Amino acid sequence: MASARNGRRPRSRGAVAAGVAHPARRARVLMVGVMIVLSLFAAQLVRLQGLDAASVSAAALDGRLQVKAIPAARGSITDVDGDALAVSVERRRIVADPTLVVDYERREEGPDGTNEVVGEGYVAAAEVVAEITDEDAADVLAKLTDPDEPRWTVLVADASPQEWQELRAEGVRGLAAEEVMRRDYPIGEAAAPLVGWVGAGELPAGGMELVRDEDLTGEPGEAVYEVGSSGEIISTGLSEEDPAVPGEDLRLTIDADLQWRAYDAVRTRVKEAGALSGYAAVMEVETGRLMALTSYPSFDPTDSTQEAEDMRNAAVEDVYEPGSTSKLITAAAALEEGIVEADSPIEVPTTMSRAGTRFRDSEQHPLQNLTFGGVLAKSSNMGTILYGEKLSDQQLYDWMRTFGIGDTTGLGLPGESAGLVPEPATWSATTRYTFMFGQGLSSTLLQQLGVFQTVANGGVRVPPSVIAGTVDEEGRYTEESVPEGTRVISEETASTLTEIMQGVPSTGGTAPLAAVPGHHVAGKTSTATRVDPDTGRYTGGVTSSFMGYAPADDPKYVVAVVIQRPTKISEYGGIIAGPVFSDIMRYTLQKEGVPPASTPPVEVELEYDPEDPDPDEPGATLDDNAIKDERTGG
């Protein structure tokens, strides 16, 4: 046998089984393994297509969905007639992915009718953007090639929807637009301090933008849509939109035309007079509603680069010593307390001494025999002291406070000052006397305006207001209520003061330039010494003002004009502020259709003859009953 011949023993079947596996068995093992794997795949497929089909589909959909915020339009601020003072305008912020823009090819139709490549890459894209949006091509190119912004950059911060549509038509791949709202202010700086502005981060600052921000702010919406792999919207895909709700519109009592006229008049006079600043206001007598409130210098509400200190509302923030317009309070107090009547004789000396200080009027004059009405109309400091010193310190203080001096008006504008009325316990020896003619206390334009509104309204003070109402998204108008009035003086006292003040804006008064041709006007001048804020001394020039109302026989409107530190033309209120008052009041009366006067003005005796007998006391003379400077013997 072969095995015997070779000297080897043949292998048994067991030996073969213990060695390498038989090919058939190995095939069977592999087959089993493949079947297990296929079974797992099948089970997973069943799970995906059957049991988990909805969740898998939803996950795929989520990958294609994009969510876009829809900004809400901020409510408009309008004047009393609905003309815009602040309005939100839909705009586009154009952004780019430079990695996609680099492949852009600009094509134009050639002479033979074929499209020819006339530009490529960033340079061509920058030129297209610049041509459509009026941006600088070099600036756009710099943004596209900025290494610090390789995937996203803002090319145009403020473009119109039309510009974006034109840009899309050029087919520049990698450009996109974000919908934004820009705040526009149609009359700009003329109303900026009152209306306010929307600054960086869409945050309101100043004026009514800040005061009524909650009403003006709307509720943003949301859009959800499907996009393809290149970011294009799938027209047949899911698309849902929750629209934005715009904010309420705010209607002010301001008249835009009158606001601009007042601003321009003040601006012109400040420049002509080489003055520091100026402000003016127009108010309805009966309601206290402001028709104009403006100041100069002002600011551009769309320029976010300005300093905050240059964006003030000086008409409500500035305090100043009012001077002679405040004599109206002293006069009203003397009438109410029974100290004087309109024709009470007052002998006004050349100078007079009180508390170790010599007082005089603004212009040197000999001994004057004036009535009480003459003292107020001619704005005599010494005459005011002669009847005013019959009031106690506490009475003087209380009457100032009763007229609203020393308190904010309740208008609610940011930064409004309350002024300063020192209590009698803090007065120096001379404060009592300067207090009577408006020095030694601080007030604001609105507070002084309120004094004249009170007298014009028959003695009833109505706080100023500037909001007429609101308009909701459905167009429903809700009117703001007018504040309640408070009686301060009697109708008789108010009538007496009105009759006296008609003599001021006349040829014989202290402010003929404040007269309004064809209308009877009651008003008062002031030329008050200013305190230098750096030294605290009365070396800061003067405050020139004129305030008054018309028609005097049935007052409808009160106007106040203040010019700070004039250095040219003159310094007297009648000359500096009087013409501005006349211009604004004339425009107001004409715009509101107030007819000219048909009767002559009331005349009040401003002087008396000491030799004429007093009709109230037969045999006596006015000289015997006159209020005199008894301390110096006249």
List the structure tokens of 364.
């040197």
How many Å apart are CA 342 and CA 120, to the nearest integer?
89
Q: For 60-129, list the strands marked E by DSSP.
A: 65-70, 77-78, 84-96, 105-109, 115-120
Q: How far is CA 200 from CA 34, 93, 302, 304, 329, in A?
A: 66, 15, 10, 7, 45
Q: Is residue 496 within a helix (H) or strand (E), and if so which, with residue range?
A: helix 491-501
Closest-CA residue to 579 (of 259, 268, 276, 362):
268
SS3 call for 154: strand
In the block, residue with structure tokens 């996950």: 59
| Residue 515 contacts residue 579 (beta carbons within 8 Å) | no
Q: How far is CA 349 from CA 198, 204, 508, 558, in A?
A: 57, 57, 21, 34
Q: Check if 324 is active-site.
A: yes
Which residues lie below 8 Å from residue 149, measured CB to CB, with a gap of 6+? 98, 143
In the set 76, 88, 295, 324, the catalytic residue is 324
Which residues lie below 8 Å from residue 314, measured CB to CB, with a gap of 6+? 193, 277, 279, 295
What are the helix and strand counts (H, E) for the chain? 23, 25
List the structure tokens of 343.
């024709």
| Residue 83 contacts residue 242 (beta carbons within 8 Å) | no
| Residue 262 contacts residue 158 (beta carbons within 8 Å) | no
How many Cβ atoms from other residues are within 10 Å of residue 119's Cβ?
A: 16
How many Cβ atoms from other residues are within 10 Å of residue 219's Cβ?
A: 12
Cα angle 430-432-434, degrees, rounded to a multiple of 5: 70
φ/ψ of 623, rounded to 5, equals: -65, -35
User: Helix crossing, 445-456 with 327-336: angle to 10°?
Assistant: 40
List the structure tokens of 31.
């087959």
In the block, residue with structure tokens 């000219």: 596
How many Cβ atoms from other residues are within 10 Å of residue 135's Cβ?
A: 20
Q: Any idea which residues carry the catalytic annotation?
A: 324
